[in-house]
Chain A
């Protein structure tokens, strides 16, 4: 037995990096041809940009669907791929990709999930969603010690002189959640209105009125401290000089942004942060690794969801030859193929 292989390694046919609309539809196209998929995504739910950036915004250019929202499209795709039982590894980032001695791909995530498959599909869109970091000089030296962008363990913040930056749901949820265990809490937001659930806004305002949370309407323009320990933040209120606000911990919630991340180190060539592909197969220059959706590039590429759907279909045809080298690919229609209908769970036998 290979010494690198642990008993926790998950074997599958295809590993899909990214569970946005294109990664989800890839499950469908691969599933029709009997290939099982595992998906990895850094978000806590499927949907990618549709779920994170514009769940409530309308989309008008999905063939056959005159209008649906981002969230509805994901809901429909999830329903469409249900017969193929995809397995999701959410809240984790695909971190390394290496070839096994058997010629398969081994993908590890930042929380230790290990997947192995003969085929990898990169459907990572604009990259990983990661917290936006304030462009304050020297902030990196404090990150992980006194400056945080997420709450991994509440206890980290017990007894702290905490500043929470931001005015959205994440900022308010954590302000309410952590207020009872911190020493002091200040919420710093750029304006007096909050863009969050009305109930949270009311609760926050009540705590401010009781004097349990201090509110500063300001921008954070600098940090003071040493060796990763924070002494104060520089705040700038409109029309005033910047002043220091003493604190020992900052929790900043400015939303998420997309960064390419570890996929850049997978050994696949990139051009301007995009992966060049062969448009007959959507295979990258590395055989058995495919790239579909917004992350790929080819002459004439249009970053549309519908382009990604097409790319998924052609990808699946080539992936089949790697997953089942001994089988012959048979082009079929879902309308007429009893084979495909059986896989979809809609054959006469299934209905009976």
Chain B
């Protein structure tokens, strides 16, 4: 299983994905130095990503806490999420995401 992650230069990376891991962990394990300063506890906004609209319906809606935390991110739009708050599962195989400014 894998995800496709577009970095800030527009380059695509195919990253091996593991069931139950967060996207933040998958990105980091894939060798992309995503900041994720709080360690994945939804307490900063340095793992900000954009989820490809085609995949949005397959993931749960963000919590109030995550929406609030996105106030500390930049260039937030309707596809913005925190990568530490999305858990991978087999339905997300092939999912496309892009890193947002401030996440590296």
Contact = CB atoms under 8 A, between A and B. Distances in A.
Interface in A311-330: none
Interface string A271-303: 000000000000000000000000000000001
B75 A219 contact: yes
Given A219-B75, A219-B76, A254-B72, A57 B37 contact: no
18 contacts: A49-B37, A53-B41, A54-B43, A57-B43, A126-B37, A132-B72, A189-B71, A193-B67, A193-B68, A219-B74, A221-B75, A238-B77, A254-B71, A254-B72, A255-B44, A255-B72, A257-B35, A303-B39
Contacts of A63: none
Given A53-B37, A54-B38, A168 B71 contact: yes
A134 interface: yes
Interface string B33-54: 0010111010111100000000
A193 B70 CA distance: 12
Interface residues of A, number: 24
A314 B88 CA distance: 40
Interface in B46-90: 46, 67-68, 70-78
A153 to B, nearest CB: 25
B71 A53 contact: no
B43 A53 contact: yes
Contacts of B101: 135
B38 A49 contact: yes
A132 B35 CA distance: 13
Majority secondary structure, B binding face: loop
Contacts of B68: 193, 195
A53 B38 contact: yes
A190 B43 contact: no
Q: Which 4 A-B pairs have the closest CB atoms?
A: A255-B72, A135-B101, A195-B68, A54-B43
B44 A254 contact: no
B102 interface: yes
B71 A195 contact: yes
A135 B39 contact: no
A258 interface: yes
A166 B101 CA distance: 17
Interface in A153-172: 166-168
Contacts of B38: 49, 53-54
